[in-house]
Structure 1
Amino acid sequence: MTKRTDDLITASVTHRFAASPEAVFDAWLDPKLVGQWMAAALAESSPGTELTSVTIDARVGGTFTFIDSRDEDQNGPTGTYLQIDRPRRLVFTWLPEEGEHSVVTIDIEPADDGCVLTLVHEMDSRWVDFVDRTAEAWARMTRQIGATL
């Protein structure tokens, strides 16, 4: 789903999990779990590409970096955690390249059979041509979290 404002566009994804809100929340911050689901999502989108490093400092103000085998100079998506409210909300910056900046907000609501995650990725409107691809990437990652859990 795409929403536009004057300067920002958003890509959003909703996914239902058969796992607890705590398990889904922790899957975003545990380096071992992130490595599992992100590697699977990467293999699905870019066969032959491997996740080589996951670094997570899971605290407000802490950072993360994910590096894959396409990144010859050992750069990859990085970000800073802005809000960590386990198991309800996680907010972080997402910087796919140097100089880029966007914000991802994840809300997790309990459900009878697990939980529902809603992810909203706000980015500069100049990326409008990539918003559908961004939503597809987040959908792929949430599917892989479900498969991992």
Structure 2
Amino acid sequence: MDRKSLKIEKKINADATKLFRAWLNPNDFSCWFLSGDGIGIESVTIDPKPGGKFLINMSLDGKILPHEGEYITIDEPNKLVFTWRSEATENRDTIVTITFEELENSNSFDKKNTNKKSQTLVTLYQEELLNDIQIKMHHHGWTSILDSLNDWMDS
């Protein structure tokens, strides 16, 4: 079977280290990891080390949707690689790679327009998806999640 992948990029006004750490701190993670309207976070367990596991219990209409995986690579502040498994992947492992590239000569300013802020290009790849439906669902979810991360960093 032909495996499929997706790629999403988002420029976020924050430095790479702060963005990277937001993926590994359960309290912060719970604030911004929102994959769409009506979806909440019931609980998050993170063991942030290579071989460490995570469990994200999302909630939708009173139903718990577990998302789990294992960290493969934690290279702060450059790259995170982990497995990702959920009902939406038919409970099969997929591979997610997130890179954080701090951009030079950014013209981004804080809300008061007084201090130049760092800007980071966050690139998310997900591999081993089975079909176009999984790509579409995950593209929507990850895009919403990166938008939420951007909004959380901006607040």
Aligning the two structures, in what range does the TM-score lie when normalised by the shorter sequence?
0.7 to 0.9
- In the TM superposition, what is the alpha-carbon distance from 1:72 to its structure 2 partner? 7.2
Distance (whole Å) between structure 2 residues aligned to residue 71 and residue 87 of structure 1:
36
Match of 2:78 among 73, 81, 88: 88
Q: 2:27 corresponds to which residue?
A: 32
Unaligned runs of 5+ in 2: 107-118
Alignment of 1:1-149 (within 5 A): 7-38=2-33, 41-42=34-35, 45-47=36-38, 49-70=39-60, 76-97=66-87, 99-112=91-104, 113=106, 114-124=119-129, 126-149=130-153
Shift of 1:123: 2.0
Cα–Cα, structure 1 residues 87 and 142, in superposed 2: closer, same or farther, change >3 Å?
Answer: same
Q: How many angstroms does 1:134 deviate by?
A: 1.0
Matched position secondary structure for 2:66? coil
- Give the aligned residue type for 2:102: P
| TM-score, structure 2 normalization | 0.80
SS, match of residue 60 in structure 1:
coil
SS, match of residue 87 in structure 1: coil
| Matching residue's letter, 2:69 | G
Q: What is the identity, as a one-letter code, of the residue corresponding to 1:51?
A: I
Partner SS state of residue 69, structure 1 = strand
Q: How many residues align?
A: 138
Say which one has the larger Rg.
2
The share of aligned pairs that are identical, in percent, is: 28
Q: CA deviation at 1:135?
A: 1.1
Structure having the larger proportion of residues in helix:
1
TM-score (normalizing by structure 1): 0.83
Change (3 A) 1:109 1:129: same
Q: Aligned partners of 1:67 and 1:30: how far apart in 2? A: 15
Cα gap change, 1:118/1:50 in structure 2, threshold over 3 Å: closer, same or farther?
A: closer
Post-superposition Cα deviations, 1:96-125, rounded to whole Å, max 9, x if no partner, equal: 13741100001111113311011000023x
